[in-house]
Amino acid sequence: MIRTPFIAGNWKMFKTKAEAAAFAEEFKGLYQGTDVKAAICAPFTDLDTLVEAFRGTGIGVGAQNVHFEPSGAYTGEVSVGMLEEIGVDYCIVGHSERRQYFAETDETVNLKLKALLAGPIQPIMCVGESLEQRDAGELFDVVRRQLTDGLAGIPEADIRRVVIAYEPIWAIGTGRTATPEQAEEMCAFIRQVLIELYGEDAADEVILQYGGSVKPANATEIMNMDEIDGALVGGASLKPADLMAIIDF
């Protein structure tokens, strides 16, 4: 099974609408003739602008969060249907910053995945351990629980559309990348858990990304790993040339 490499930028809370438009203009010119899939996951206020700017380019657009209810009295939230109408392709779910600061749990991750998978938007589900959990030798237990609870009740037909990003919390925005071997070890473990849950054929099709201080200088060695099919890129996705250098790994 050949999995198409997939690099997604995660802008977090950076870039206004005008800044997003300027980025898109420059990035469109750089992203040509590559087989690597690319997407930008941006603040809600940038999504419309990016969808318009990237139309016909093959560059995807993603949100960074969504609510699991279709509508209701949830001040400050955005529904799957609202994202669909804009034409968004992807949505990050369960990023560690949302787990840490916005009370995201495996249960809400599960509800959001189910809400997204009922429509066309592909989820990018984030998992990963803290430094304390790694040092205590709990890393595999933590990630197994995030996977089994987060994916509970999601059928085999749908798992193929879920992108899973392994993002060790200690490597995010710290400049401290996991070694390619550490990233590969966990991605191989994730694939193994997926085989247990869904069988080999389905597990083989799932795109696994690594995220945490990915930059042009370390993209090649990370992307060359067997079980790593892509990257979720924070800081280095803010500059078109840096993101393009990672896509050109």
CB of 200 to ligand PGA, least distance (A): 28
Q: Which one of residues 124, 147, 233, 246 is an interface residue with ligand PGA (CB under 6 A)?
A: 233
State how far the Cα of 130 lies from the Cα of 142, in Å rounded to an integer: 9
* Binding status of residue 64 toward ligand PGA by CB under 6 A: no
Ranges of H-type helices in 151-179:
156-159
Q: Total number of residues binding ligand PGA (CB under 6 A)? A: 13
* Binding status of residue 232 toward ligand PGA by CB under 6 A: yes
Residue 41, token pair as written in the block: 């996951």
Residue 228, token pair as written in the block: 């790593």
Answer whether 240's CB lies under 8 Å from 25's CB. no
Of 95, 97, 104, 129, which residue is the catalytic one?
Answer: 95
CB of 233 to ligand PGA, least distance (A): 5
Provide φ and ψ at 82, rounded to 5°: -65, -40
Radius of gyration of the chain (CA): 17
155-194: which residues touch ligand PGA (CB under 6 A)? 167, 172-173
Q: Which one of residues 213, 218, 223, 230 is an interface residue with ligand PGA (CB under 6 A)?
A: 213
CB of 236 to ligand PGA, least distance (A): 6
Cβ-based nearer residue to ligand PGA, 158 or 207: 207
Cβ-based nearer residue to ligand PGA, 154 or 235: 235
Of 97, 104, 129, 167, which residue is the catalytic one?
Answer: 167
State how far the Cα of 89 lies from the Cα of 87, in Å rounded to an integer: 6
Residue 29, token pair as written in the block: 């010119």
State how far the Cα of 222 lies from the Cα of 210, in Å rounded to an integer: 8
* 67 belongs to the catalytic site: no
Which range of residues in 63-71, 80-88, 179-187, 211-219 is near ligand PGA by CB under 6 A? 211-219
Which range of residues in 27-35, 60-68, 192-200, 212-220 is near ligand PGA by CB under 6 A? 212-220
* 95 belongs to the catalytic site: yes
Answer whether 122's CB lies under 8 Å from 162's CB. yes
The Cβ of residue 73 has, within 10 Å, a number of other Cβ atoms equal to 6
Cβ-based nearer residue to ligand PGA, 128 or 198: 128
Residue 92, token pair as written in the block: 């990050």
DSSP state of 237: G
The SS3 call for residue 210 is strand
Residue the block writes with tokens 């560059």: 59
* Binding status of residue 20 toward ligand PGA by CB under 6 A: no
The residues that are catalytic are 95, 167
Residues near ligand PGA (CB under 6 A): 10, 167, 172-173, 211-214, 232-236
